[in-house]
Each structure stands twice: as C-alpha cells, then as structure tokens.
Amino acid sequence: MKKDMTEGREWSSILLFSLPIMGANLLQVLYNLADSVIVGNLISATALGAVGLTSSMTWLLTAICTSIGAGVNIAVAQYFGAKKETNIQESISVSYLIAVIASIFLTAACFLAARPVIFGFLQAPEEMRFDSMAYFLIYSGGIIFQLLYNVTYGILRAHGDSRGALIFLMISAALNIVLDCVFISVFHMGVSGAAAATVIAQAGSAIASFLYLRHIFPDLLPKRRYLYAWKGQGALLMRLSIPIMLQTGVNSIGFLILQRLINSFGAPSIEGYAAMLKVEQLAHIPSQSFNVAISSFAGQNIGAEKLDRARRGYRTTILMGVLISISISIVVLLFDRPLLQIFNITGESLRRAKEHLDILMFFIWTSTITNITCGFLQGAGDVKIPAASGFINLGIRLALSFLLALTPVASAATM
C-alpha cells in the first residue's frame, strides 16, 4: 500500500521504511556473494579473481541504472507529496521509455569497451583474461533488466512502499543461487554460468517487480497516452539523474582505476581484494538503505512543504545510521578472518584482504554520514552538491592511493 511519510513520528517512519530496504539490499549482496563463494569454492581462487576484476565495471553499470531509478524516485516522491496525480503518471510513463532507450546504448557500449578495458586499461593477468571477458559480456546482456527493475523500484519507493523490493529479491536471490550451482556443478559452465545465473536472476526481479506494481498499484502502470510529456518529464528526470549518475559513476570509475593499481600487485592482491569487497558490501547495507529512505522521506515532505519535518528526519537518520555502522564495524573486526575464509582464499591473499578490511572498518561511519546527507539532498532536489562530493572523494582517494603505493605501506593504497 502507499505510505504517506508526511505524518507520524520521523524516526519510526524512516526506520520502518528502511528495514525492508535493508532486507532487500542484504539479499542483493547475498546473491552476489553466492556468485563469489560458489566460484571460489567450485572453480578456483583464480576464477574468483577474474570475476572480482570486473567488479569495478559492473559497479559502474549498476551506478548508472540505480541513478536513473533514483531520479524517478525523487520526481515521483515530490509529485506524490504535492498530490499531483497527472505529473506522477507522466513521470512514470516517460521513465520506462528512458530505461529502454538507455539499455540499448549501454549494452552496445559495454560490448565495444570490454576488450580494451580488461586487456588494456586493467591489464588483467593472462590467466584471468578469458574468464573476465566472458563474465562481463554475459553480465552486460542483463542491463535492460537492471534498468527496468530500478525504475519500478523508484516508483514504489516514492509511494512509501519498500516491502515490495524484499519480495522481488527473495525470488531473485533464490533463483541465482540455484542456477549458480546448476550451471557450474552440473553443466560445468565455469564463470560464464555464474554470469548467466546473475542475468536470469535480474530478469526475475524485473518481471516480479512489474507484476507487483500491476497487482498492487494498477493506477501506476505506464500508459502510452502520457508519453506526450516525454520532453518535459524526460528533461526533469535527466536533470535529477545525471548528477547522481556522476556522483556514483565517478566513484565507480575510481574503483576501476584502483583495480588497475591492485592488479599491479599480482594475483594474491586481486584475489584478496575480490573477497574483501564482498564483506565490505555487507557492512555498507544500513548506510545505503538509509540513503534510499531519507531520499524518499525528504522528497515527500519537501513536496508537501514540511521543511522542518524533513530536517528532523535527517538528523534522526544520521544518529541511527552512525550507531548501526559502528556496531557492524566491531562485529566485522572481531570475525574478519572467518568471514574472508568463506571465499576459499588462503595465505598471502587472506593476509592482504584482512589488512585492507580492518582499515576500512575504522572509517565506515564517515561514509554513512556522507551517504545519508547525499540521500537527503537528492530527495530535496539538490543533486549538484552530492555530485561535487563524489568528485572530491575520488580526487583524494586516487591521490592517496597512488602516493601510498610508492611507500612500504602499499597495501593501504586500496583504501
């Protein structure tokens, strides 16, 4: 059902809205973890490194898809708060059109760029090149499903429905794990099987989310008659989405550059970094969930002209987010070694992964504050400051990474 977040206690509205998102994000990370655990254990640590090597590229694609979904969420949430039903219908219909068009261009770009990026820019080790190429090319075939899912998810979030995503991703996660095992263990498809399982799972979540929208909110389905507003609504959605895309995309490009630096340290660093990233993703789930929640909360309340309530919600979310992040950091620091060993890494790979993870955990609360603040500003319609924040973050990160790589503490470069 639609949830009006312009009434009631701020902390309970945000927390109750966040919990299903946390559950959905946890499932998303778990089914990505399933790829890594199954690949690392059923194939090899080298195969895990090959999949991990493409992480920065797949993150860039995910950043673009989620940015478009975030733009839809902001526009529709503000229209919902202002009770502008016609504008809601226009925005929804145009957003699906944009998703289809964007998927065509993105898929073509991925197929053209895969080889020069993996073989050239990333300088993938010889033993990982074929698997990295195979994984990324198959993964790129699922861009259309990622875009359609994120648009639908943005529409639902804007109306205060965060439970639907939990249902979609339960289906998707179960499907991904089963197909991983079947494709790798039964059909011996290697990393190609893991990629195919991921794409099929993404298709499942896209279809499930649209069917949910049609069943629960039939009035929110895209309609051809509202496409007349493609110019105005398309411009608005791009104005909201592109700065978010720059912010998240810049970070993804930063990871791409860092991946090249990590590759220069050899296979143990590549394998260790791939495993560490999966654990780090788990630790960031609350931060990312509060980012989504405060964006929808701010959008609805600012649309309804309840600015004081929006500010109170922001302060409350910061407090909740920091406390949860610190708690997670403590747990990860206590159990870092067994968490990393799930991925079947040993020796030097394990040592480097543990060292990197432990450093990151001391600072995770700072990224929580950044994520929540960016979510609040984006929900308010101010997407330029978060984008600028992303550029500053990237500049500092890369400068320190390459500087530290020249010192005896080179492993800290991956921070």
Quickly state the pLDDT bin for 414 (edges 50, 70, 90). Answer: very low
How far is it, in rounded angstroms, from Cα 383 to Cα 258?
Answer: 26
In a domain, 130, yes or no: yes
pLDDT for residue 35 is more than 90: no
pLDDT grade, residue 406 (50/70/90)? low
Rounded Cα–Cα distance for residues 238 and 139 (Å): 25
Q: pLDDT tens for residues 245-288? A: 877 777 777 777 877 888 778 778 887 887 888 888 889 889 98
Q: How far is CA 149 from CA 60, 62, 86, 211, in A?
A: 16, 11, 23, 11
Percent of the chain with pLDDT over 90: 41
Q: Is residue 3 part of a domain?
A: no
Domain assignment present for 4:
no
| Burial bucket for residue 218 (CB in 10 Å: 0-12, 13-18, 19+) | exposed
Give the pLDDT score at 147: 97
Distance CA 1, CA 355 (A): 45
Tell me the per-residue pLDDT of 335-347, one tens digit each, with 9 for 90 and over. 989 889 888 788 8
Of the chain, the percentage scoring pLDDT greater than 70 comes to 96
Which residue type sits at 380? A
For residue 249, the model assigns a pLDDT of 75
Residue 412: its pLDDT value, please?
Answer: 44
State pLDDT tens for residues 183-213: 999 999 999 999 999 999 999 999 999 999 9
> How many domains does the structure of the chain reveal?
1
* Per-chain mean pLDDT for the chain: 87
Residue 85 confidence class, pLDDT cut points 50, 70, 90: very high
Per-residue pLDDT tens digits for 41-53: 888 878 888 888 8
Q: Over the stretch 109-160, which tens digit does the pLDDT of each residue have? A: 999 999 999 999 888 888 889 999 999 999 999 999 999 999 999 999 888 8
pLDDT-derived band at 413, boundaries 50, 70, 90: very low
pLDDT given at position 274: 79
Residue 99, amino acid: A
Is the backbone of residue 223 left (phi > 0), alpha (psi -120 to 50) or beta?
beta
Question: Which residues neighbour 315 within 8 Å (Cβ) at sequence distance 6 or greater?
Answer: none
pLDDT at 415 over 70: no
Q: Using 50, 70 and 90 to split pLDDT, how confident is the model at 89? A: very high
Instruction: Give 300-323 pLDDT, tens digit per residue.
Output: 898 888 989 999 999 999 999 999
323 within domain boundaries: yes
CA-based radius of gyration for the chain: 21
Domain region containing 166: 10-414
- Separation between Cα atoms, residue 253 and residue 384, nearest integer Å: 18
Alpha-carbon gap, residue 116 to 110, rounded angstroms: 10
Domain presence at residue 1: no
Distance CA 173, CA 261 (A): 32
Q: Say what the pLDDT of residue 135 is.
A: 95
Q: What is the pLDDT of residue 300?
A: 86
Confidence tier at 31 by pLDDT (50, 70, 90): low
- In which band, very low, low, confident or very high, does the pLDDT at 62 lie, cut at 50, 70 and 90? confident
